[in-house]
Chain A
Amino acid sequence: MDIDLILRVYPHFLKAAVLTIELSVLTAILGLICGSLGAAARLSRLKAIRFIGAAYVSLFRGTPALIQLFLLYFGGPQIGIQLDAFQAGVIGLGLNIGAYMTETIRGAIISVHKGQTEAARTLGMSRWQATRYVILPQAFRLMVRPLGVNINALIKGTALVAAISVVELTYTAQRYIGSTYKPFEMFILAGVLYMIIIYATGRGISWLDKKVRIQ
């Protein structure tokens, strides 16, 4: 193992890691928004809206994220969508993970017992009130952990934007592998940084999970 090399190049990797974190945070936020909307659509009373939700989930989960990203970044200009690589990365990955989060959020909501809605409606609450004050607070507790799994996948998924030349961790590792011919060292360097990010996120999720459970 070439320690000198690692010490020489690691500042570039740190800078790339910051970009990976930015990408992850923005993608997660967009993913949660899409996931919430998607879940709401899939649970709608209107058949047409349910269909749109289902089509979103099916299309984005049924095709590779890489293809979605390429379609947006390279194909976008043909239909009037001009994005830089970073923007395309956030939007492409956010829409993709949003489809997975839709299923997570929907799963949590429908696993809150049906009796809860009935009980709330019996008390005279409207459908919206029952959802807002009875179902969602319970569902939220159930979805923290599985959403954590989605976010873990998302962080690793940000590596895909290396393929559209965003200078994040994987792209940086690839570039230095090309110039130094030291694949193992570069892998370890990038790998350690990924694992730190993932570990820290995991701790955060566990903390949140515990916090919402105690209430």
Chain B
Amino acid sequence: MGLDFSVVPGFFDVIMQGVFWTIAITVAAAVLSFFGGIFFAVIALYAPRVISWPMKGFEWLFMGTPLLLQLFLIYFGLIQIGIDLPAFVAGSLGLGLHFAVYNSELIQTSILAVDKGQMEAARTLGLSRGQSLRYIVIPQAVRDVIPPIGNNMIALLKDSALVSVIGVTELTLSAQLAIGRTYRPFEFYAVAAVCYYIINLGMEAVLRRLERRVQASR
């Protein structure tokens, strides 16, 4: 059949829209996974057992099963209980929760590694436990895990391709739409791969810069 890239320019807008939504869902899920990760970590470490144990079970389940399976659960599960979320929201939620669990693991370890004297000093000044965590312990713990969290976010970008299966029209699904019209899978998947690669490079550059800034403020 051979290759013919001349059909690609006609779908420039479709592809660019896909790029936009890929970036949008990556950012939305990354933000959710960051704050969700902190939230889960605090619960796992400090909440009473009736809350922290189910939480740990949830983490265990999410770390031991494929993201794709989780996306199906969230998308169809929500519909089953009568919540019909737009695909973008369900996709962000699924991706964000999945990576929140991984971030939570990192943040938990990091919180435990913050010197005990920090909590003591904060409590001595009269800060409550919650205030001490919020202003003293967590900022330090998070700062220490920025590089590995950054790596998780890069993995998130690539895993965002999976939300195409639940109907989010991001880059992968956009490519598929173009393929449906042209029957040229190689050309459009190759174009999508190039776009992902470029977004990936950009994201790495942003993260390296962020790391350097955090390093410098020590």
Q: Is A32 an interface residue (CB 8 A)?
A: no
| CB atoms of A78 and B185 under 8 A apart | yes
Interface residue B46 (Cβ < 8 Å from any Cβ of A): no
Contact A194 B66 (CB under 8 A): yes
Cα A67 to Cα B188 with chains together (Å): 10
Residue tally, chain B, CB below 8 Å to A: 39
Binds B, one of A34-42, A44-52, A138-146, A155-163: A155-163
Q: Mark B1-22, 1 if CB is under 8 A from A, else 0.
A: 1110000000000000000000
B residues in contact with A174, CB < 8 Å: 72
Check if B73 is an interface residue, CB within 8 A of chain A. yes
Residue A195, interface by CB 8 Å: yes
Which one of A76, A77, A184, A191 has the greatest number of beta carbons of chain B within 10 Å? A191
Per a CB cutoff under 8 Å, which of B66, B164, B200 touches A63? B200
Residues of A contacting B: mostly: helix
Main secondary structure of the interface of B (DSSP, over half): helix
Judged by a CB distance under 8 angstroms, whether B207 is at the interface is no
Beta-carbon contact of A59 and B197 below 8 Å: yes
- Binary interface encoding of chain A residues 110-121 relative to chain B, with 1 for a CB under 8 A from any of its CBs, else 0: 000000000000
Report the nearest B residue to A66, measured CB to CB: B161
Identify which of residues 171-193 in chain A touch chain B, using a CB-to-CB cut-off of 8 Å: 173-174, 177, 181-184, 187, 190-191
Within the assembled complex, what's the spacing in Å between the Cα atoms of A79 and B2?
6
In this assembly, does A68 line the interface, its C-beta being within 8 Å of a C-beta of chain B?
yes
Chain A residues, Cβ within 8 Å of B65 = 156, 187, 190-191, 194-195
Q: Does B30 contact A (CB under 8 A)?
A: no
Known: A66-B161, A77-B1, A78-B2. A184 touches B64 (CB 8 A): no
Does B3 contact A195, Cβ atoms closer than 8 Å?
Answer: no
A173–B56 Cα distance when bound, in Å, is 24
User: Separation in Å of the A161 CB from the closest CB of chain B?
Assistant: 10
Bound CA span A196–B69, Å: 16
- Asked whether A191 and B196 contact (CB < 8 A) given A67-B189, A71-B189, A183-B80, the answer is no
Q: Given A63-B196, A75-B189, A177-B72, are A159 and B66 neighbors across the interface (CB < 8 Å)?
A: yes
A198 within 8 Å of B (CB atoms) = yes
For residue A72, which residue of chain B has the nearest CB?
B189
Establish whether residues A187 and B196, one from each chain, have CB atoms under 8 Å apart when the complex forms: no
Q: Is A104 an interface residue (CB 8 A)?
A: no
Chain A residues with CB under 8 Å of B189's CB are: 67, 70-71, 74-75
A62 close to chain B: CB less than 8 A: yes
Q: Are B69 and A159 in contact (CB under 8 A)?
A: yes
* A74, A77, A182, A194 interface centre (most CB from chain B within 10 Å): A74
B72 near A67 with CB under 8 A, answer no
B69 adjacent to A173 (CB under 8 Å)? yes
A57 → chain B closest CB, angstroms: 12
Could you tell me which A residues sit within 8 Å of B by CB distance? 59, 62-68, 70-71, 74-79, 156-160, 162-163, 169-170, 173-174, 177, 181-184, 187, 190-191, 194-195, 198-199
**Beyond A65-B158, A75-B187, 6 extra complex contacts between A and B, CB < 8 Å:** A66-B162, A67-B172, A68-B193, A173-B69, A187-B70, A190-B69
Q: List 18 A-B contacts (CB under 8 A).
A: A65-B161, A66-B161, A67-B161, A67-B172, A67-B192, A70-B189, A75-B185, A76-B186, A77-B1, A78-B1, A78-B2, A159-B66, A159-B69, A160-B68, A170-B69, A181-B76, A183-B80, A195-B61
10 pairs of A and B residues whose beta carbons are closest in the complex: A75-B186, A159-B66, A74-B185, A64-B161, A183-B76, A195-B64, A187-B73, A64-B158, A156-B66, A71-B189
